[in-house]
């Protein structure tokens, strides 16, 4: 894959990921990751301090599946949907078949009551690899700007 | 807002008779009751948790926090002591420390460059003698009387507490032997910070403190636990209370779990019907960390501090009021300096159970808001707290009780004089 083709495929992966969540196709969400992977959501403050624990820390695709199973079957929360606004995708470089990518995002949360709010803004720090014909996240670190999470976070960012 | 007389506040609250098994919904919404809490409770005879001494390791290190609504600074001085100062300049009332943390030789108010030492003493006033002989402060201005107010401070195993009260018993007595023993068991080691959370919730702070003391709801609201048998009311456990019930510990020991599906009202719980299994069981990997066999212990120290042990997930929580109808839950997620790499990894993965996205705890972020919405217009109506009786006494062998919530209200009524 040449650089231009890689960039196009990476952008498609990142946009498809956002649509998958926003369209509530959450059972397909783990498929964006490799079997062994790291997905974590962490505040900017803690990320910059190098602390390991975030709001979510999933270390395998199975753990991502468990998150969704729990969300669908066990957890109690007020129904809501996300709308991701993706901006400024930058491919930082490629080493040994791993692309490092940084992307800005905003997630607007709409509650069943009609309340609409900016739920989270921040950046994705990705390490993306090729698996067969497709690209997958080997690592996706979501660094959110605010210290605070309003109420709860059940749907992944 | 003016502090009300005891009598008019009592009328305002409208507590229904004696006891603590009925609570009027007005206490969750009323701005005057909220204002009275700031003085009688948070500035009253209680020890308020501030943070960990290790957050300010070197001289000049500070963090800004709140006691109730009052902004304070926790700062280490050159003698190694920790001071908790009201974060307000003695001149015009400006915030002195405007960053959430930092390191400073002096605390400087940027408005007019008044300087304070790390104990809060006013050491310098800009243009105190005026300019070219004109202006300046009067000759009799007393620097000693205009420092940043310094609170009584005490630490216990790296936990820093402060109080506005001269009357409250020493921290050690305020906690009592049983509460001290559990704190010591859980965090009385060399701890390290693994992460923090801040969860902003649309409910009165007391609704969260009731929730955290409510051992009855845990296996009913939090289905994740029930489905994987992480926490069952049929496990051995109980509720320990300090004198008067101000502080509590709810604990369980899983190894002694007895089968008890029938006790859940004769039908299986929602999640049990699904019978799901974890795709990756390492999510609940754990090790036996405590010789006593305690697998879960939630402890609250009146008014708003919590020590948590859920298996190997250790955390401190502080529920900070943010007006009558909001609060912010601060979390310190901890590990031990002596953890092996494998143990540290287990703690990190277990942290998925707690916090704003916690597979176990997330419901606690939403249920308070639902109560807030449903009760807002019915201040005279009351909650019912009769599970496990109407008294405030320890409950050995059962956590199907609301006794520790009643204990909270015992403390609240006592300090609020209602």
Query: pLDDT tens-digit profile of B125-160?
Result: 999 999 998 999 999 999 999 999 999 999 999 999
Which residues does chain B have within 8 Å of residue A39's beta carbon, measured at their own beta carbons?
none
Question: Which structure tokens are listed for B385?
Answer: 């707290």
Residue B233: per-residue pLDDT: 52
Tell me what pLDDT residue B268 has: 46
Task: For B55-103, write each residue's pLDDT tens digit.
Answer: 999 999 999 999 999 999 999 999 999 999 999 999 999 999 999 999 9
Question: Is B342 part of the contact surface with chain A (CB cutoff 8 Å)?
Answer: no
pTM of the model: 0.94
Percent of chain B with pLDDT over 70: 91
Q: Cβ separation of A151 and B274 shorter than 8 Å?
A: no
β-sheet with B61-67: strand ranges across: B82-86, B70-76, B61-67, B101-103
Q: How confident is the model over B305-329, as a mean pLDDT?
A: 97
CA A147/CA A132 separation, integer angstroms: 39
Contact B359 A75 (CB under 8 A): yes
Burial class (CB in 10 A: 0-12, 13-18, 19+), B2: exposed
Cα–Cα distance measured from residue B16 to residue A43, given in angstroms and rounded to the nearest whole number:
44
Average pLDDT over residues B228-252: 81
Residue spans of alpha helices (H) in A50-150:
61-73
Residue B265: which pLDDT band, with cuts at 50, 70 and 90? very low
> Torsion-angle region of residue B113: left (phi > 0), alpha (psi -120 to 50) or beta?
left
CA separation for the pair B200, B326 (Å, rounded): 7
B256 or B17: whose pLDDT is higher? Answer: B17
Min distance A88 CA to chain B CA atoms (Å): 27
**Could you report the per-residue pLDDT of A11-63, keeping only the tens digit for each?**
999 999 999 999 999 999 999 999 999 999 999 999 999 999 999 999 999 99
Q: Is the dihedral of CA B92, B93, B99, B104 positive or negative?
A: positive
Report the residue from A51, A56, A66 with minimal CB separation from B279: A66
Q: What is the ipTM of this complex?
A: 0.96
Q: Pick the range with the lowest mean pLDDT from B249-253, B301-305, B345-349, B354-358.
A: B249-253
The pLDDT value recorded for residue B261 is 43
Cα(B385)–Cα(B392) distance, integer angstroms? 11
Q: How far is CA B13 from CA A88, A136, B414, in A?
A: 54, 58, 13
- Residue A114, classified by CB atoms within 10 Å of its CB into exposed (0-12), middle (13-18) or buried (19+), is exposed
Residue B313 has pLDDT above 50, yes or no: yes
Give me the residue label for tokens 């408005």: B111
Residues of B in contact with A107 (CB under 8 A): none
Closest CA to B361 of A75, A156, A67: A75
Determine the distance in angstroms separating the CA of B17 from the nearest CA of chain A, rounded to an integer.
34
β-bridge pairing A148-150 and B191-201:
parallel
Q: Which site among B61, B227, B312, B356 would you substitute to test the A interface, given the most A Cβ atoms closer than 10 Å to its Cβ?
A: B356
Q: Is B45 on the interface with A (CB under 8 A)?
A: no
Beta-sheet pairing, B101-103 with B61-67: antiparallel
CA distances from A30 to A25, A59, A63 (A): 10, 12, 9
Does the pLDDT at position B277 exceed 90? no
- Residue B229's pLDDT band (boundaries 50, 70, 90)? low
Q: How many CA atoms lie within 13 A of B69 on its CB side?
A: 12
Beta A33-43 vs B248-253: how paired, if at all?
unpaired
Residue B109 pLDDT greater than 80, yes or no: yes
Mutate to test the interface with A, among B350, B361, B362 (most CBs of A within 10 A): B362
Q: Which residues neighbour B254 within 8 Å (Cβ) at sequence distance 6 or greater?
A: B230, B231, B235, B295, B296
């Amino acid at each position: 894959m040449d650089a231009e083709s890689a960039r196009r495929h990476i952008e498609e992966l990142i946009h498809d990921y956002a649509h998958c969540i926003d369209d509530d196709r959450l059972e397909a969400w783990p498929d964006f990751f490799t079997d062994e992977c790291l997905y974590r959501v962490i505040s900017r403050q803690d990320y910059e301090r190098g602390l390991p624990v975030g709001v979510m820390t999933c270390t395998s695709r199975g753990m991502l599946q468990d998150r969704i199973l729990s969300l669908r079957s066990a957890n109690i929360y007020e129904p809501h949907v996300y709308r991701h606004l993706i901006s400024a995708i930058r491919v930082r470089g490629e080493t040994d078949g791993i692309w490092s990518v940084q992307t800005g995002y905003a997630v607007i949360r709409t509650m069943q009551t009609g309340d609409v709010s900016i739920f989270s803004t921040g950046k994705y720090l990705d390490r993306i690899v090729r698996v067969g014909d497709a690209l997958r996240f080997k690592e996706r670190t979501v660094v959110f700007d605010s210290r605070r999470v309003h109420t709860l976070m059940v749907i992944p960012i | 807002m003016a502090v009300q007389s005891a009598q008019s506040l009592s009328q305002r609250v409208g507590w229904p008779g004696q006891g603590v098994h009925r609570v009027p919904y007005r206490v969750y919404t009323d701005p005057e009751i909220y204002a009275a809490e700031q003085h009688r409770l948070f500035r009253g005879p209680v020890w308020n948790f501030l943070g960990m001494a290790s957050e300010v390791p070197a001289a000049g290190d500070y963090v800004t926090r709140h006691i109730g609504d009052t902004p304070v600074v926790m700062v280490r001085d050159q003698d190694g002591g920790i001071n908790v100062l009201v974060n307000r300049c003695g001149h015009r009332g400006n915030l002195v420390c405007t960053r959430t943390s930092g390191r400073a030789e002096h605390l400087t108010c940027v408005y007019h460059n008044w300087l304070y030492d790390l104990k809060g003493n006013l050491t310098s006033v800009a243009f105190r003698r005026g300019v070219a002989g004109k202006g300046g402060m009067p000759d009799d201005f007393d620097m000693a009387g205009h420092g940043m107010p310094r609170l009584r401070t005490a630490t216990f195993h790296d936990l820093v507490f402060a109080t506005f009260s001269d009357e409250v018993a020493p921290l050690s007595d305020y906690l009592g032997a049983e509460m001290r023993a559990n704190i010591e068991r859980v965090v009385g080691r060399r701890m390290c910070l693994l992460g923090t959370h801040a969860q902003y919730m649309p409910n009165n702070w007391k609704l969260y403190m009731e929730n955290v003391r409510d051992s009855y709801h845990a296996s009913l609201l939090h289905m994740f636990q029930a489905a994987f048998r992480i926490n069952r009311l049929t496990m051995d456990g109980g509720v320990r209370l300090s004198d008067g019930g101000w502080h509590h510990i709810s604990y369980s020991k899983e190894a002694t779990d007895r089968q008890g599906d029938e006790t859940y009202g004769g039908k299986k719980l929602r999640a049990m019907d699904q019978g799901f299994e974890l795709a990756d069981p390492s999510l609940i990997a754990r090790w036996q960390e405590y010789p006593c066999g305690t697998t879960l212990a939630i402890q609250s120290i009146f008014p708003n501090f919590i020590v948590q042990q859920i298996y190997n997930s250790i955390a401190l929580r502080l529920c900070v009021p943010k007006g009558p109808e909001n609060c912010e839950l601060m979390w310190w997620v901890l590990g031990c300096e002596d953890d092996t790499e494998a143990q540290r990894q287990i703690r990190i993965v277990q942290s998925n159970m707690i916090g704003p996205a916690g597979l176990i705890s997330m419901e606690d972020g939403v249920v308070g808001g639902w109560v807030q919405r449903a009760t807002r217009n019915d201040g005279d109506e009351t909650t019912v707290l009769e599970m496990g009786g109407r008294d405030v006494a320890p409950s050995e062998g059962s956590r199907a009780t609301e006794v520790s919530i009643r204990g909270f209200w015992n403390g609240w009524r006592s300090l609020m004089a209602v």
